[in-house]
Amino acid sequence: MPSILTIILNYKTADMTLQSAEAALREMTALEGEIVIVDNASGDGSFEAMQAHASAQGWARVRVVQSERNGGFGAGNNVGLRLGLSDGSKPDYYYVLNSDAFPDAGSIKALLDYLEAHPKVGFAGSYIHGLDGAAHLTTFRFPSIASELEGAARFGPISRLLASKRVPIDVPDRTREVDWLAGASLMMRRDVLEDIGLFDETFFLYFEETDLCRRAKLAGWPTVFVRTSEVTHIGSVSTGMKTWARMPQYWFNSRLHYFTKNHGWLYAVVAVKAHVIGGLLWRIRRALQGKPQADPDHFLRDLIVHDTRHLLARARPANAPHLCDLKSVGDS
């Protein structure tokens, strides 16, 4: 029987992480493998509390380890990916599960069965739903210049024209290939990770799954949404995204890194311009039609300032003088 290493990343949500581990352990009863909980340097006693709970419950198939630093989602999961199984061997599959996600009956086996039956598929992810049963959108296309314009403009004619470029894919009612899936419940073939590498740790949070799935697809390993695998998900517990008043800098960092890494900085410049044009069109419509705010406070301004600063720094030759250097020359 193929083996699975389930990785659950914790950051200051010890009680919920343990509930997620318990649900995963139940679903792995008849499967070969283990669970590793990685505490992402929470510093709030989570690590000790989870270790004590796992020991008290006699969870022989569960390890609790601690990352030396909080390097974000990808870096934290990479700690688990590098560990392998407790006997030193490598599993056939890695299963990344969010700490606020709880596998429903048969969900992990459904992903395993699909990958076993389709050896040319690299990653398989679940249908995600909330506590109320409502579907969560986790199926996507890769971002592009066109999708930046479409997503920012929020204008029917533009969206219809660029429908095939729109990043979100309406939640499918059947199993199908997608460009990328959110990492709340994602099973990955070991051979793929050995081929393309682990999560890019430059991403602190967001776009790391997008990048990983893109690298896999370019290497010939597609990602598939498996409708028969269902997982209950609360969402944004560790990140607090639902309560953001303003986009954090790491989101802008990740977005820009995705574009520059995968398409080059000139492409990233055009992507920024496309988003700005779309964003301005949306804001004009808001003013004329009284539409509600759809972005966090100061979003477009923050995007322009962040990306302009970073792209100008990247475009400047390595030996070009900085403003402080020019001032020094003038003073002399």
Measured CA to CA, the distance from residue 55 to residue 63 in angstroms comes to 9
Residue-by-residue DSSP string for 147-159: HHHHHHH--HHHH
Indicate the residue type of 140.
F
Q: Tell me what pLDDT residue 235 has.
A: 74
C-alpha angle 7/99/63, rounded to 5°?
A: 40
Q: Where are the beta strands (DSSP E) in 130-236?
A: 139-140, 176-178, 180-181, 185-189, 223-233
H or E segment at 47? helix 46-57
Sole residue written with tokens 């250097």: 325
Measured between alpha carbons, how far is residue 254 from residues 126, 145, 275, 309, 323 in Å? Answer: 24, 16, 16, 15, 27
Measured CA to CA, the distance from residue 182 to residue 128 in angstroms comes to 10
Q: Can you read off the two tokens belonging to residue 41? A: 């340097």
Sole residue written with tokens 């700690």: 79
Q: Tell me what pLDDT residue 320 has.
A: 40
Q: Tell me what pLDDT residue 242 has.
A: 55
Q: Tell me what pLDDT residue 177 has.
A: 98
- Give this prediction's pTM: 0.91
Q: Residues 201-256: pLDDT tens digits?
A: 999 999 999 999 999 999 999 999 999 999 999 975 544 455 568 999 999 999 99
Residue-by-residue DSSP string for 52-106: HHHHHHT-TTEEEEE-SS---HHHHHHHHHHH--TTSPPPSEEEEE-TTEEEPTT
Q: Residues 26-78: pLDDT tens digits?
A: 999 999 999 999 999 999 999 999 999 999 999 999 999 999 999 999 999 99
Q: Residues 265-315: pLDDT tens digits?
A: 999 999 999 999 999 999 999 999 999 999 999 999 999 999 999 988 876
Measured CA to CA, the distance from residue 27 to residue 102 in angstroms comes to 10
Q: Residues 128-176: pLDDT tens digits?
A: 999 999 999 999 999 999 999 999 999 999 999 999 999 999 999 999 9
Residue 195: phi and psi, rounded to 5, are -80, -45
Measured CA to CA, the distance from residue 182 to residue 331 in angstroms comes to 54
Burial state string for 193-210 with b = 16 or more CB within 10 A and e = fewer than 16: beebebbbebbbbbbbbb
Burial (CB count within 10 angstroms: exposed 0-12, middle 13-18, buried 19+), residue 29: exposed
